[in-house]
């Protein structure tokens, strides 16, 4: 074998590995969705490897690699004698309407909030400006760890304009969405919210609080909510556990 034969062989091997990894990702993406949306709910096993090989027209190695990807994400587990089971399900959070968490997840279980901090603080200029309050005016700060059926789902940092925030502190924040309470206190519905969604790695302290591995992917939602009259009153920074939430909605094409 000449040196260039050897090099070509090594390259072909690298290409084959790359191709298999690409094919595995393809298979994994389709299976992920089925797992996440509960297609294998209630202990139904995933199809056997041989069936997945047929279904995806993929090699057995590719199917195994795809299952490894999903196992690394904590979505499936192999149970000897039973097969491969779905062990996670993401809760759907709508991108259609502005809803509080308990409103959104009503059909999935009970949301309970551990109120970690509340109080009046002097916010930074950035926070004052976004809430359209004069610099130096105190705002109410609330920090909550939110659980669904007992499992940590999100860590929410909330800044609320003082006139609405102070009455809010007298309410039962452990069992109610802030949105619902705010509407009652303000005597008017909420209107629009500007939202930004990002994926971030969990810092060690957030990870510990959310009971997630250090560096776990979090879905971070920043949301500035306005009353129906247009006044911005509620600025939130929400870290969702990436493995427990999926945001869904509909986008419409309007010509650029």
Q: Please say which residue, 78 or 214, places its beta carbon nearer to a second copy.
A: 214
CB of residue 67 to a second copy, shortest distance in Å: 12
Helix crossing, 3-36 with 49-56: angle to 10°?
100
Distance of CA 47 to the CA centre of its chain: 27
Q: Please say which residue, 54 or 78, places its beta carbon nearer to a second copy.
A: 54
Contact 73, 212 (CB under 8 A): no
- The DSSP output letter for 230 is S
Distance of CA 173 to the CA centre of its chain: 22
CA distances to 6, 12, 143, 215 from 90, in Å = 47, 39, 24, 19
CB of residue 3 to a second copy, shortest distance in Å: 27
Measure the CA–CA gap between 220 and 157, rounded to whole angstroms.
Answer: 11
Q: Please say which residue, 6 or 78, places its beta carbon nearer to a second copy.
A: 78
CB of residue 189 to a second copy, shortest distance in Å: 6
Contact 140, 167 (CB under 8 A): no
Q: Please say which residue, 77 or 203, places its beta carbon nearer to a second copy.
A: 203
The tokens describing 46, both together, are 């995933």
Q: Please say which residue, 59 or 117, places its beta carbon nearer to a second copy.
A: 117
CA distances to 5, 54, 93, 125, 162 from 133, in Å = 72, 62, 30, 9, 9
CB of residue 238 to a second copy, shortest distance in Å: 10
Measure the CA–CA gap between 235 and 87, rounded to whole angstroms.
Answer: 34
CB of residue 233 to a second copy, shortest distance in Å: 12
Residues 6+ apart with CB under 8 A from 231: 132, 161
Q: Please say which residue, 149 or 201, places its beta carbon nearer to a second copy.
A: 201
CB of residue 100 to a second copy, shortest distance in Å: 9
- Residue 147 phi/psi, 5-degree rounding, is -120, 145
CB of residue 195 to a second copy, shortest distance in Å: 6
Q: Please say which residue, 181 or 218, places its beta carbon nearer to a second copy.
A: 218
Closest residue by Cα to residue 128 from 146, 145, 141: 141
């Amino acid at each position: 074998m000449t040196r260039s034969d050897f090099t070509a062989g090594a390259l072909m091997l690298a290409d084959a590995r790359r191709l298999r990894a690409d094919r595995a990702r393809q298979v994994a993406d389709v299976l992920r969705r089925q797992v996440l949306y509960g297609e294998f709910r209630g202990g139904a096993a995933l199809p056997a490897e041989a069936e997945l090989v047929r279904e995806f027209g993929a090699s057995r190695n590719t199917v195994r690699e795809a299952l490894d990807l999903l196992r690394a994400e904590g979505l499936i587990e192999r149970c000897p004698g039973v097969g491969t089971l779905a062990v996670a399900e993401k809760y759907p959070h709508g991108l259609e309407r502005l809803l509080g968490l308990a409103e959104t997840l009503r059909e999935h279980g009970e949301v309970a909030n551990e109120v970690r901090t509340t109080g009046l603080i002097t916010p930074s200029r950035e926070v004052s400006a976004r809430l359209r309050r004069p610099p130096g005016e105190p705002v109410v700060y609330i920090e909550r760890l939110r659980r669904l059926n007992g499992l940590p789902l999100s860590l929410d940092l909330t800044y609320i304009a003082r006139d609405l925030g102070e009455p809010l502190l007298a309410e039962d924040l452990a069992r109610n969405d802030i949105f619902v309470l705010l509407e009652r206190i303000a005597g008017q519905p909420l209107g629009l919210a500007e939202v930004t969604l990002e994926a971030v790695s969990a810092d060690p302290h957030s990870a510990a609080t959310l009971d997630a591995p250090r560096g776990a992917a979090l879905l971070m939602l920043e949301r500035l909510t306005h009353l129906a009259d247009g006044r911005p009153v509620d600025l939130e920074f929400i870290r969702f556990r990436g493995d427990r939430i999926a945001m869904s909605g509909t986008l419409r094409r309007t010509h650029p």
